[in-house]
Amino acid sequence: MKQILVDMDGVLADVYQHLIQYEYRRTGQLINIDDLQGKTEEDAFPDFRLSVNSKGFFRTIPLIEGSQEGLRYLNDNYKVLIVSSATEFPLSLTEKEEWLMEYFPFISWKQMIFCGDKSSIRGDIMLDDHPKNLNYFSGERYMFAQPHNLNSVVENCKRVQSWEDVLRQL
């Protein structure tokens, strides 16, 4: 069975919608996601660091549409490892695991990796939204579409637009 490394933020967890809500609550300004195409998350959200360092931020992120059914399909057909960049935000660690346990109870603690840098994690396939992770991966690569990666080019990397699209391609 092939081993697939699945990212959390921007693949399972809808960080953009959550950041938009956090900014709205703080400033009263509702950011339109269509205005964020091609911008990094830090450029798109003035209070990015404040939000992601808030207690509860990662525990309450909404799901990306189709991610539960999609990950269940992958888990039945691949050796899934959830690999999440998390150590930059220490509070996120326990919250991320609790979030996974709530929404993806079929994923066991043995399938979770929280790290700073993904380049030492072995796998056959990577599904991620960040070119910085995909670029250092030597297996098959799939970039999950998010506003920040609209203009990103990663060699030999397929782009997937949604979980529906993941299931079509994998």
Return the residues of window 121-140 that contact a second copy according to CB under 8 A: 121-123
* By the rule CB under 8 A, 120 interacts with a second copy: yes
Residue 29 vs 119, nearer CB to a second copy: 119
Structure tokens at 8: 């959390």
Q: Six-digit token pair at 115? A: 């790290």
- Cβ closest to a second copy, residue 16 vs residue 58: 58
Nearest-approach distance from CB 56 to a second copy, in angstroms: 13
- Cα→Cα distances 57→12, 91, 93, 120, 133, Å: 15, 9, 11, 27, 23
Residue of 9, 14, 128, 129 with catalytic role: 9
Q: Does 3 bind a second copy (CB under 8 A)?
A: yes
Which phi-psi region, left, alpha or beta, contains residue 56 (left: φ > 0; alpha: ψ -120 to 50)? left
Contact region with a second copy (CB under 8 A), list: 9-17, 59-67, 108-116, 157-165: 108-116
Q: Tell me which amino acid residue 127 is.
A: L
93 binds a second copy (CB under 8 A): yes
Long-range pairs for 33-38 at CB < 8 Å and ≥24 separation? Answer: 33/147, 36/147, 36/148, 37/147, 37/150, 38/147, 38/148, 38/150, 38/151
Q: Which residues, listed in sequence order, are joined to residue 3 by a DSSP beta bridge?
A: 79
Among 108, 132, 136, 161, binds a second copy (CB under 8 A): 108
Considering the complex, state which of residue 23 and residue 97 has its C-beta at the smaller distance from a second copy: 97
Q: Kindly list the residues in this chain that would bind a second copy in the complex (CB under 8 A).
A: 3, 81, 86-88, 90-91, 93-94, 97-98, 101, 108-117, 120-123
Please identify every residue annotated as catalytic: 7, 9
